Amino acid sequence: MNREKVSWSNVIKFAGAFIAFLIGSGFATGQEILQYFTAYGMKGLLAGLFTLVCLVYVGGDFIVTGFRERFSNTNDIYRYYCGKYIGGFYDYFAIAFLYMSYIVMVAGAGATLAQYYGLPTFVGCIGMAFVSAFTVTFGLGRIVDVIGTIGPAIVLFAIGIGLAAIFKNPEGIVRGAQMIEAAEVEMTKVGTNWFTSGMSYVGFSMLWLAAFLAAMGQKANSAKEAVIGTTLGATGFVVGIIIMMLGLLANLDAVAMTDIPSLILAERIYPPIATVFSLIIMGGIYTTSVPLLWSVSARFSQEKTRKFYLLTVGLAVSGCVVGLLLPFQRIVNIIYGINGYVGIMLILFMIVTTVRNMKKAA
């Protein structure tokens, strides 16, 4: 296989899939951006820069390792980095976390339709559980095609909303930062400061990405193609984070303790846009819930088998039930926060492995 061959259509597809996987209910609703970045005022920019550096590194390393090693079970990527026992722990921990994250997606769908359309929460939860399970039955190849196309469109729309919110009230950014410094507004935070928040954010993102990118790497023509794709994806994603963070900061008085802050931004800009954006949010939730659910089902069964279909349906139904029982804002804070700190430890094992491989190659 030509290790230098680059198909730019594949690059865009990989970048889009990377973005789409990370843009779930937390990003699209603005809730995770509010808790991980906006809550720290202008220091949230430092958390964004830290996130960019880490995602470029881990995304590239995950996808190249998958391209090179050709794992029969992509969750073996944890054993590749961490050894048999610690890697085994990460394997099962990551699967549990991926499923908990799927529950966050389902709950986010319910919260979005409830806040904007006044529908019962169960409508969004059941609807997202159904469409995600249905899509998963088509297999990974089709999933990458679908979400790789939708992802860039979602992030561009989100960036547009963030930019409009900034331009409509630019002085609000400074005022929002001052309110946070003076503790004039109540906010839910994940970390004790911007650095611990950034570590937690990268940590849960890594647990999402590891097996999925290892599988995606096997579809690349070359390591170069794979790395370009994930680097563009990480950059586009973090640019979206920073713009949305500043947009939320500029309207902090209105969004601080809401479930779906990005919808508040859209309504403030131009009410009809909020209707369109509510659909965009649902698209973002969909593009993340599908690969999350696939990752769990594929860990315990072979694609397109009776066991795979039954497991997928069972997981979707269970996730829907749990998503209906807990408030969305609280789910994001607990699940992402705790799991993020466990996930960030993986980067230490990755760095050791990278250094070891560099010494071998020298």
The pLDDT of residue 299 is 85
| pLDDT per position as a tens digit, 253-284 | 888 878 788 888 888 888 888 888 888 888 87
Residue 231: band (very low, low, confident or very high) from pLDDT cuts 50, 70, 90: very high
Q: Among 110-124, 165-179, 211-225, 270-284, which is the least confidently predicted range? A: 270-284
- CA neighbours within 13 Å on the CB side: how many for 88? 2
The pLDDT of residue 195 is 94
Distances from the Cα of 134 to the Cαs of 138, 281, 285, in angstroms? 8, 19, 15
Q: Would 358 be classed as within a structural domain?
A: no
The pLDDT of residue 2 is 52
Average pLDDT, the chain: 87
- For the stretch 153-156, contacts whose Cβ atoms lie closer than 8 Å and that sit 24 or more positions apart, written own/partner, are 153/283, 154/19, 154/20, 154/23, 154/28, 154/280, 154/283, 154/284, 154/287, 155/19, 155/23, 155/236, 155/237, 155/240
Q: Among 171-175, 228-232, 287-291, which is the least confidently predicted range? A: 287-291
The pLDDT of residue 140 is 67
> In sequence order, which residues have a C-beta less than 8 Å from that of residue 168 and are 6 or more positions away?
250, 268, 269
Q: Would 191 be classed as within a structural domain?
A: yes
Residue 3: band (very low, low, confident or very high) from pLDDT cuts 50, 70, 90: low
Q: Would 183 be classed as within a structural domain?
A: yes
Length of the chain: 362
- CA neighbours within 13 Å on the CB side: how many for 26? 28
User: Could you tell me what percent of the chain has a pLDDT over 70?
Assistant: 95
Q: Would 360 be classed as within a structural domain?
A: no
Number of domains the chain contains: 1
200 lies in which domain range?
8-352
Q: Would 2 be classed as within a structural domain?
A: no
- The more confident residue out of 127 and 146 is 127
| pLDDT per position as a tens digit, 136-181 | 888 766 666 666 667 677 778 888 888 999 998 899 999 999 999 8
Q: Say yes or no to pLDDT of 362 above 80.
A: no
What's 189's domain CATH number?
A: 1.20.1740.10
Residue 25: band (very low, low, confident or very high) from pLDDT cuts 50, 70, 90: low
Is-contact 62 213, C-beta < 8 A?
A: yes
Q: Would 362 be classed as within a structural domain?
A: no
Q: Would 347 be classed as within a structural domain?
A: yes
The predicted model gives 92-118 an average pLDDT of: 87
Q: Say yes or no to pLDDT of 1 above 50.
A: no
Q: Would 241 be classed as within a structural domain?
A: yes
Q: What is the pTM of this model?
A: 0.82
